[in-house]
Amino acid sequence: MPYTLDVEGLRKSYGDHLVLEDLDLQVGPGEIFALLGPNGAGKTTAVRILSTLIRPDSGTAVVAGHEIGTAPAAVRAAISLTGQYAAVDEVLTGWENLVMIGQLRRLATRRARHRATELLDQFGLVDAADRRVSTYSGGMRRRLDLAMSLVVRPTVLFLDEPTTGLDPRSRRDMWSAVGTLASSGVTVLLTTQYLEEADVLADRIAVLDRGRKVAEGTAAELKAQVGSETVELFFDDAAAPATAARVLEEVGRLVLADTDSAATDLVVRVAGDGSAEDVRRLLDLLAAEQVPAARLSLHRPSLDEVFLTLTAHPADAPAPADDRPLERTF
């Protein structure tokens, strides 16, 4: 079966700054695929290239059967884009926005009006239909934005950070709206910096960091990359965790990045398989090195841990200046 999105070796740089480095992606029909990464990872650049807004320096991408470089018009006919900043006309009302998009999508005016009414109803915007969008809340704007992308059902829907800046309740509303798309067979490429969002929505996830894909798979597969269980070791001595981490790394154990710097002073997280034998070896090793663990707990790794472990930057390679720190809101 041909891929709906087939991307090979996509590369883009602005001046000396490489924002996308040889990205490969294959997304099947009806799949919800998430590009997960911090700000500056290249997610938005990837979406802008695939939606024909900017050209890659090299590489090929076939979207819904059309090559972006040679048939951009055919690509545009098959896609919808809901951008990072709500792509709505603030001066017009919600209804006017939807009718305008319908007309631009070559629906007859009557059909466009009918469809606008349907979508306002579907996205809970009936009461706000005749108000200017500038009076809408952030959540309403995003819902209208999504509705505008669905006036004519696209083959591929690009959602660039659909819930950034939304309150938890609006976020959940967006999630359920995106969720219903999946059942309608629309292929969705979504970008997000929220691990939870990728976990909830996406069939598969690619983790991007500084323009490179560092991992790809289902949420479960990604979690498995850092071991099937995480062993959390607690120490009583403030100096012990650093020593313990070094000892463990020397014997080849995967020490997971801190996910919560405030509470981790006395904690080291290690990937393990959850067996008693594995835990016993860990404890014996630490005891032999004079840094015995005081307590321990076992838990399934969170995507948070996966993400930070996969994207952890070595100290000698500082992030580029425009790389803002990862916003983590949960």
Partner 1 sequence: MASLTHDRHSWADPLRDSRIFIVRSTRHSLRSIDAMVTSIALPVVILLLFVYVFGGALSPSGGYVDYVVPGIVLLCAGFGSSTTAIKVNEDMTNGVIDRFRSMPITGTAVLTGHVVASVVRNLASTVVVLGVAFLVGFRPHGDVLAWLAAAGVLTLYMAAISWLAASFGLVARSAEGAGAFSFFIMFLPYLSSAFVPTDTMPVVLRGVADHQPVTPIIETLRGLMMGTPVGNDWIVALAWCLGGILLGWSGAAALFSRRTAR
Least distance CB 128 / partner 1 (angstroms):
17
For partner 1, give the closer residue by CB, 43 or 253: 43
For partner 1, give the closer residue by CB, 52 or 309: 52
For partner 1, give the closer residue by CB, 8 or 118: 118
Burial of residue 135 (CB within 10 Å: 0-12, 13-18, 19+) is exposed
Alpha-carbon gap, residue 184 to 144, rounded angstroms: 19
Least distance CB 56 / partner 1 (angstroms):
12
The contact set with partner 1 (CB under 8 A) reads 48, 51-54, 73-74, 76-77, 79-81, 83-92, 96, 100-101, 103-107, 115, 118, 132, 148, 150-153, 158, 181, 184
- Three-state DSSP state, 118: helix
For partner 1, give the closer residue by CB, 23 or 107: 107
**N- to C-terminal Cα distance for the chain?**
38
Least distance CB 205 / partner 1 (angstroms):
24
For partner 1, give the closer residue by CB, 86 or 267: 86
Residue 32 CB neighbour total at 10 angstroms: 22
Q: Is 52 left (phi over 0), alpha (psi -120 to 50) or beta?
A: left
Hey, CA dihedral for 178, 182, 186, 191, is it positive or negative?
Answer: positive
Phi, psi of 50 (to 5 degrees): -70, -25
Least distance CB 179 / partner 1 (angstroms):
13
Least distance CB 177 / partner 1 (angstroms):
11
Least distance CB 121 / partner 1 (angstroms):
12
Alpha-carbon gap, residue 222 to 303, rounded angstroms: 8
For partner 1, give the closer residue by CB, 91 or 251: 91
